[in-house]
Structure 1
Amino acid sequence: MNTHERLIRLMDHKKIGRQDLARLTEIPVDRWKNIRRGRVGASTEELDACTPLWPEYGYWLITGNTLPEAGQISSEIEETRKNLNAAG
């Protein structure tokens, strides 16, 4: 999975739409729409804008790796934690 795909996965995981992202990041809604649709790749500008929104995903977003012991997780780790908490 590349950085662009991780960003899309994070957007899906957080259930955040392009209107909200535009408001939170000051990046135009059309840019988010084009990223979501795969017309353009995510640039460092979008990654830099999203990292402060979800700092716990910063390392994973950029590298594809996690460091749970340092609080750096992926959307998959968070989903697993939620499922385990719900189960028991």
Structure 2
Amino acid sequence: MAQSMADRAMQLLELTSLKDLAEVNSKEYVRWQSIKRGRARFAVDELEQLAERYPQFRWWLITGEVLPGIGQTRP
């Protein structure tokens, strides 16, 4: 079964320090914690932030496909 975009985003989130996404104890940091713990779902803003942080995984994040010829891989 194919992974959903949320599954792929969670995979990237597992590779990422929350400190790299938001200032500790900020509203955004708490939001990322909630997502990571499964208490909240990804919103478009968070998906965009992960895509900006990992441009080499952007196509994979959105589609689940890789395009190694143009540098689009997966983690």
In the alignment of these two chains, the number of paired residues is 71
2:57 is aligned with 1:57: yes
Indicate the percent of aligned positions where both proteins have the same amino acid.
32
Q: Distance in 1 between matches of 2:60 and 2:27?
A: 22
Q: Distance in 2 between matches of 1:62 and 1:32?
A: 19
State the TM-score, normalizing by the size of structure 2: 0.80
Residue pairs, 1:7-86, within 5 angstroms: 7-12=9-14, 14=15, 16-23=16-23, 28-75=28-75
Q: Which runs of 4+ in 1 moved over 2 A?
A: none
Q: Distance in 2 between matches of 1:55 and 1:6?
A: 14
2:6 is aligned with 1:4: yes
- Gaps of at least 5 residues in structure 2 are none
Q: Distance in 1 between matches of 2:8 and 2:43?
A: 12
State the TM-score, normalizing by the size of structure 1: 0.70
- Given that 1:35 and 1:41 are in contact with CA atoms closer than 8 Å, whether structure 2 keeps it comes out as yes
**Structure having the higher Rg:** 1
RMSD across aligned positions (CA): 1.8
Q: Which has the higher contact order (CA 8 A, sep 6+)?
A: 2
